[in-house]
């Protein structure tokens, strides 16, 4: 809250008056393009100030960060890099077998991932290191390998490590660890929060003899969440007051029905407002947002309403003294795939040139 004071001089006396106003945060408009493609020429001239990329913890450190020279260039120019790092094994380019390697002179033996997530009936369950394996310290080598690369991030950069893409999607049907431990949704959520606390604390305060990330410094942490559809209980379980994240985050899609942008933002804002006072003071990242091209009117007009909806949420939040949305990255793939692409790109350029992004 900002206070402005005036003085009025009249008839030899002065009368003072003060009043207050509030200013919300500037929001970073960002993008992710499918397959992690280089989007710079497509979005040339757009006010893009953040971007997302996805990696598996199975990949080597440099393949995770920065993953490509063009991303390092964007980071150096001031964009906020939201880097999703998953326990999920992606397949090609990484290995599902156990690994033995050294990092900074320390020897690690990382077992093959024994977990299964996103266990939707009729699908092949994705492979991931299980919460059990992480909590047993068996993935420490993977964390150390990533830490070495993150230490190289320039001090003026902004890199947010988002562990898990969407914990609720991972745990929706329960998870398993090896063949003999099958966890319900609730059990998986309880293990997940312990796991991500472990991972962030390991990165922040690694074991003796391993240099930590500088603090304050360019690296922040968050844990991914999909949306309110998965239920408030899981969201509250994943976000105890002690969760050492720097942002709270989730995704926001206009799918399964055509609602306004504000209507799409408010369900998770309601969940966020149910968090404890420490968590609901943290800034918010909308790691993915998008709208279905099949909805009446298409994507352009809906995208045009996004800035005002974000600003409306932030105006409400600043009056409450709670966290505001600082980043929204459009997901140009899957649910949000820009179709037709030129019109979608033009709409995002307009949106990111508008308040509160400009």
Partner 1 sequence: MPTTVVHRFNREPAVYAPGEEILLTVLVSPHDPEPATGTIRTATTVIMPDGTESETVTTESPYVVDGKPGTARTQVVSDSAGRSWVKVSENTAGTEAVFRAVA
Q: Does 26 bind partner 1 (CB under 8 A)?
A: yes
Unique residue bearing structure tokens 């964007």: 74
Q: Does 19 bind partner 1 (CB under 8 A)?
A: yes
Give, in order, the Cα–Cα distances in Å from 110 to each of 138, 142, 259: 6, 8, 46
Chain positions 180 to 199 lying near partner 1, rule: CB under 8 A, are none
CB of 264 to partner 1, least distance (A): 20
- Separation CA 217–CA 189 (nearest Å): 30
Using the contact rule CB under 8 A, the part of the chain among 16-24, 86-94, 227-235, 345-353 near partner 1 is 16-24
Pairing of strands 50-56, 80-86: parallel
Pairing of strands 325-332, 284-291: parallel
Of these, 50, 311, 328, 329, which contacts partner 1 (CB under 8 A)? 311
Q: Does 8 bind partner 1 (CB under 8 A)?
A: yes
- Separation CA 114–CA 51 (nearest Å): 31
Q: Does 318 bind partner 1 (CB under 8 A)?
A: yes
Of these, 95, 205, 319, 339, which contacts partner 1 (CB under 8 A)? 319
CB of 292 to partner 1, least distance (A): 28
- Separation CA 170–CA 118 (nearest Å): 5
Residue closer to partner 1, measured from CB, 3 or 107: 3
Residue closer to partner 1, measured from CB, 18 or 121: 18
Using the contact rule CB under 8 A, the part of the chain among 20-28, 91-99, 121-129, 327-335 near partner 1 is 20-28
Residue closer to partner 1, measured from CB, 117 or 313: 313
Residue closer to partner 1, measured from CB, 191 or 313: 313
Phi-psi region of 36 (alpha: psi -120 to 50; beta: other; left: phi over 0): left
- Separation CA 171–CA 259 (nearest Å): 27
Q: Does 321 bind partner 1 (CB under 8 A)?
A: no
CB of 77 to partner 1, least distance (A): 20
Chain positions 279 to 308 lying near partner 1, rule: CB under 8 A, are none
Q: Does 22 bind partner 1 (CB under 8 A)?
A: yes
- Separation CA 159–CA 153 (nearest Å): 8
Q: What is the DSSP string of 113-165?
A: P-EE-S--TTSPPPEE--HHHHHTTTTHHHHHHHHHHHTTS-TT-EEEEEESS
Q: Which of 108, 124, 58 is nearest to 87 (CA)?
A: 58
- Separation CA 98–CA 100 (nearest Å): 7
Q: Does 15 bind partner 1 (CB under 8 A)?
A: yes
Of these, 274, 315, 344, 345, which contacts partner 1 (CB under 8 A)? 315
- Residue ranges binding partner 1 (CB under 8 A): 2-11, 13, 15-26, 311, 314-315, 318-319, 355-356, 358
């Amino acid at each position: 809250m900002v206070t402005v004071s005036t003085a009025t001089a009249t008839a030899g006396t002065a009368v003072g008056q003060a009043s207050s106003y509030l200013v919300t945060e500037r929001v970073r408009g960002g993008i992710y393009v499918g397959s992690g493609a280089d989007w710079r020429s497509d979005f040339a001239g757009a006010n893009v100030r953040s971007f997302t990329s996805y990696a598996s913890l199975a990949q080597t450190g440099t393949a995770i960060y920065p993953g490509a020279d063009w991303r390092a260039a964007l980071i150096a120019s001031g964009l906020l890099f939201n880097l999703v790092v998953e326990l999920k094994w992606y397949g090609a380019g990484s290995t599902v077998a156990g690994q033995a390697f050294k990092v900074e002179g320390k020897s690690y033996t990382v077992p093959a991932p024994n977990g299964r997530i996103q266990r939707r009936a009729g699908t092949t369950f994705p492979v991931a290191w299980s919460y059990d394996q992480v909590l047993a310290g068996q993935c420490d080598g993977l964390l150390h390998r990533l830490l070495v690369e993150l230490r190289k991030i320039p001090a003026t950069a902004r890199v947010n490590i988002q562990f898990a893409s969407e914990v609720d999607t991972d745990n929706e049907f329960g998870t398993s660890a090896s063949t003999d431990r099958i966890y319900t949704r609730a059990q998986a959520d309880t293990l997940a929060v312990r796991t991500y606390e472990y991972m962030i604390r390991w990165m922040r305060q690694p074991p003796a003899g391993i240099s930590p990330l500088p603090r304050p410094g360019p690296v922040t942490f968050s844990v991914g969440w999909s949306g309110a559809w998965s239920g408030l209980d899981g969201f509250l379980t994943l976000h105890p007051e002690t969760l050492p994240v720097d942002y709270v985050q989730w995704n926001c899609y206009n799918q399964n029905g055509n609602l306004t942008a504000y209507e799409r933002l408010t369900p998770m804002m309601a969940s966020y407002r149910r968090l404890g006072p420490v968590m609901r003071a943290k800034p918010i990242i909308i790691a993915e947002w998008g709208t279905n091209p099949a909805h009446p009117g298409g994507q352009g007009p809906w995208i045009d309403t996004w800035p005002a909806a974000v600003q409306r949420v932030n105006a409400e939040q600043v009056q409450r003294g709670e966290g505001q949305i600082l980043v929204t990255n459009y997901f140009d793939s899957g649910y949000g795939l820009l179709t037709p692409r030129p019109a979608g790109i033009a709409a995002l350029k307009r949106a990111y040139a508008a308040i509160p992004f400009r």
